[in-house]
Amino acid sequence: MDNIQSIKNRFGIIGNSQSLNYALQVAAQVANTDLTVLISGESGVGKEVFSQIIHALSARKHNPFIAVNCGAIPEGTIDSELFGHEKGSFTGAVDNRKGYFETVNGGTIFLDEIGEMPLGTQARLLRVLETGEYIRVGSSKVQKTDVRVIAATNRDLLERTQQGKFREDLYYRLNTVPIRVPSLRDRKEDIPMLFRKFCVDFAEKYKTTSIQLNEEARDVLVNYPWPGNVRELKNIAEQISVLAPEKLVTATDLQHFLPEQPTVNRLPMLAPGGQGNGDFASERDILYKLFFDMKKDVTELKKMFFEVLQNPNMAQHAAYADSGVLAGSYQPAEAPVVTTPNIIAAPATAQPIILKDNAIDHHEEVEETLSIADKEKELIEKALRKHKGKRKDAALDLGISERTLYRKLKEYNIHE
């Protein structure tokens, strides 16, 4: 524990949550090896700090360290940035250029947003990790490098491998030692300490008195979800330090600085290869189409039923039917039989229902539920019944992944 506290003091890390301490412990243990590390966590949690900790505690600490944001480098130049190029290999290559894997030889390279790396570059990176070899763009000469790779992502790389956007072999090669950096909402007990530290720092920077939060404002601060994590908390602390009218901030004052949170989308993700327009082809459209089709069928059936009630001469006897075929054998000669499509047939032993004139003096239209969650649960149950409990077939029919289906079964407490 003393070692963890010294790391916190050295790198300015604030917090005592169990999940944060565990992540720091893993980083400290793996630092003195050459194992590849994959740091995962939401944007703004401080993944780059963990890469610096690993490098500073390793035997490579006196050698170069470089952080590369893979999402910020254009696809056409990332190979040149990482592996270098030969003169004349492409337009604008007026001279030979060393890549990062050559200039950082003996040190550590931190590849942030590794999930955004193009597939072609992923293949080159895999070769470096497995053999320590690479080839400059436009060259045929194999070169060697001794670089430790630390990667980071705020995306689900395993899900991206299933979508064909990330190499599965590279994922498992990078994921030798995984470190999960907790989000701020998963360590709420650390939020007041972090906020107070930021406010003190900004008070010194702007030569003013540090602000204070009353009890209600502190509750609002802790319960806010912080989608931007530590980065967002720091920005809010700076805004309040500069713009707050009073040094004692109330809950009402604090709310003015916190952005409104959008409604969480609880609909399932489309399965890979499902119909839609790109990654963001909305599963909402699929569900809404199903709901509207169901509502249309119900509305048409209501209309047909009320027409029969309002016109006694049209029919006096009706039977349940399935796809237009009468369930019973009773067919009176004095009135035509009215069939209602898409209604589940009654049991074979059921007697026909006889409607007498003016037998119903009052009717009331009852709206079916329009809850998306209820309809989603109903669709999942129907799919499971249709495929006799086979989850894979049910997920395919619903247009979602098996993984999403498992999550939904647990969420809705559905027992097959």
Residue 318 pLDDT > 70, yes or no? no
8 A C-beta contact, residue 66 and residue 82: no
Residue 327 pLDDT > 60, yes or no? no
Q: What is the structure's pLDDT at 285?
A: 58
Tens-digit pLDDT profile for residues 168-194: 999 999 999 999 999 999 999 999 999
pTM, two decimals, is: 0.62
8 A C-beta contact, residue 126 and residue 170: yes
Q: How confident is the model at residue 311 (pLDDT cuts 50, 70, 90)?
A: low
CA dist., res. 142 & res. 183, Å (int): 42
The SS3 call for residue 205 is helix
Residue 128 pLDDT > 80, yes or no? yes
Tokens of 253: 């004052």
Using CA atoms, how far residue 21 sits from 16, 70, 179, 182, 415, in Å, is: 7, 28, 11, 10, 38
Tokens of 249: 């901030």
Tokens of 99: 């890549």
The mean pLDDT of the chain is 81
pLDDT higher at 44 or 388:
44
Q: What is the structure's pLDDT at 201?
A: 95
CA dist., res. 174 & res. 110, Å (int): 12
Kindly state the average pLDDT of the residues 195-212. Answer: 94
Element (H, E) at 257: none
Tens-digit pLDDT profile for residues 61-73: 999 999 999 999 9
Torsion, CA 219, CA 223, CA 226, CA 227, rounded to 10: -160
Q: What is the structure's pLDDT at 410?
A: 80
**What percentage of the chain reaches a pLDDT higher than 70?**
75
Q: What is the structure's pLDDT at 286?
A: 60
Q: Which domains does the chain have, with CATH numbers?
A: 2-182 (3.40.50.300), 185-255 (1.10.8.60), 268-312+358-416 (1.10.10.60), 313-356 (no CATH)
Kindly state the average pLDDT of the residues 125-151. Answer: 95
Tokens of 216: 């209600």
Q: Are strands 317-318 and 133-135 parallel, antiparallel or unpaired?
A: unpaired
Q: What is the structure's pLDDT at 402?
A: 79
* DSSP states along 354-403: EPPTT--------PPP--HHHHHHHHHHHHHHHTTT-HHHHHHHHTB-HH
Q: Are strands 177-180 and 37-40 parallel, antiparallel or unpaired?
A: parallel
* Angle subtended by helix axes 372-386 and 283-310, to nearest 10: 90
Task: Round the CA-based radius of gyration of the chain to a whole number and report it.
Answer: 32
Q: What is the structure's pLDDT at 114?
A: 96
**What percentage of the chain reaches a pLDDT higher than 90?**
56
pLDDT higher at 66 or 272:
66
Kindly state the average pLDDT of the residues 296-303. Answer: 72
Tens-digit pLDDT profile for residues 354-413: 444 444 445 455 455 667 777 888 888 888 888 888 888 888 888 888 778 878 888 888
pLDDT higher at 408 or 111:
111
* Angle subtended by helix axes 391-398 and 402-411, to nearest 10: 100
CA dist., res. 368 & res. 147, Å (int): 63
Residue 339 pLDDT > 60, yes or no? no
Element (H, E) at 315: none
Residue 307 pLDDT > 60, yes or no? yes
CA dist., res. 44 & res. 112, Å (int): 12
